Amino acid sequence: MTARGFDATTSSPFFFEEEHHMLRAQVRRFVEEEIKPHADAWEETGATPRALLRKMGDLGFFGITYPAQYGGSEMDERGTVVLAEELGRCTYAGVAITVLVHTDMASVHIFNAGTETQKQTYLPRMITGELISAVGVTEPDAGSDVKGIRTTARRDGDHYVLNGAKTFITNGVLGDVFCIAAKTDPNGPPSQSVTMFIVEKGMEGFTVSRSLKKHGWNSSDTAELAFVDVRVPVENVLGQEGRGFYEIMKNFQNERLVLGAMAMGEAQAALEMTVRYVKDRKAFGAPLWEKQVIRNRLAELTTRVEAGRQMIYATAARAAAGEDLVREVSMIKSYCGELVNEVMYACVQFHGGMGFMRESPIERMARDARVQAIGGGATEVMLEEVAKRM
């Protein structure tokens, strides 16, 4: 399909403007020329190269929603959704998540809660790709349960002394700037005791304790981080002390919308790939496409993916208009995270034995998709968020 096919312009004309269609075409062209021909090697090395990230920064992909004064393009959530969906379509979800953590899950903490000095210090270089960011919330006992954070930060004069650990941190090995959540009031109410800090690579006592091997997303680097008496200057506090819980919750909404869009990009690419395969693959004297049960299942999944995409587009447009959409975003994260896995299961099945081979893209895509129902808010947690608002 061309960049101006059904999912670029003729689909959802009410939600997007010409700048969004241009962005979609540009990202899709970049994926075809700069990612797909090379990403198999990145799967083996376990990381997306910095050279690629700098190219993306130079093209403006890292500053889509940020103000022009920092080097951004001043677009809204609709632009973010376009970027996430097209990166999901690249079929290498590890590359996609490397980018999206930087653009929409980590650097946003500095933009949303940072002082003007912090923004001027970090955002321009994040937007160009000179600095790559990560966010450290997850711990063995604290993922979606942010109130369970155990990493501590104790005030000592003009510094805070940080101690603890984070795990499952995307961009944790190769990142430069980390937005780290720590408990600053051990005896305070859980929702008022967490603070966010800007921690830079190289600070004494801050180390990558190990690089993690994963079931999927193998072209993204993932780490456990350790903090042993790390002295973080007071001016590196992000937002107000004790307000970190609320900042994390606020940014979760953007993260979950982005992950939903990425998941639907993955699902759409898998379906298109599988339709091509079953139209070519012959069994029992005819292409598999001639089997009604296969056609109907692919048609059903395509319908559901389109429904998910349209909800994402509508929610992005409403968010851009200033609405608070925790309910809808939680629906998107739960629905799309489960649906992309259902799509991948069917697509592997219809590829037959080839779908189980490492040489087949659908095998990699199925592994990559599994975490979409876990990371950024597990399905069960998201459904509870919906239930609270029923």
In the prediction, which pLDDT does 224 show? 96
- Residues 6 or more apart whose CB falls under 8 angstroms from that of 380 comprise none
Confidence class of residue 376 from pLDDT cuts 50, 70 and 90?
A: very high
In the prediction, which pLDDT does 12 show? 56
In the prediction, which pLDDT does 77 show? 95
- The overall average pLDDT reported for the chain is 94
pLDDT in tens, 109-161: 999 999 999 999 999 999 999 999 999 999 987 777 777 899 999 999 999 99
Across-strand partners of 169? 223
In the prediction, which pLDDT does 379 show? 97
Residue 22 has pLDDT above 50, yes or no: yes
Given 255, 266, 328, 385, the catalytic residue: 255
* Dist. CA 313–CA 323, nearest whole Å: 14
pLDDT in tens, 75-114: 999 999 999 999 999 999 999 999 999 999 999 999 999 9
pLDDT in tens, 243-263: 999 999 889 999 999 999 999
- Considering the chain, what percentage of its residues have pLDDT values greater than 90? 91
- Considering the chain, what percentage of its residues have pLDDT values greater than 70? 96
Tell me the residue type at 238.
Answer: L
Is 255 tagged catalytic?
A: yes
In the prediction, which pLDDT does 14 show? 76
Comparing CA positions, the residue from 98, 78, 136 lying closest to residue 313 is 78
Lowest mean pLDDT among 12-16, 149-153, 268-272: 12-16
What is the pLDDT averaged over residues 285-299?
A: 96
Whether the CA torsion 180, 76, 122, 259 is positive or negative: it is positive
In the prediction, which pLDDT does 36 show? 97
41 CB-side CA count, 13 A: 5
Residue 2 has pLDDT above 60, yes or no: no
Confidence class of residue 9 from pLDDT cuts 50, 70 and 90?
A: very low
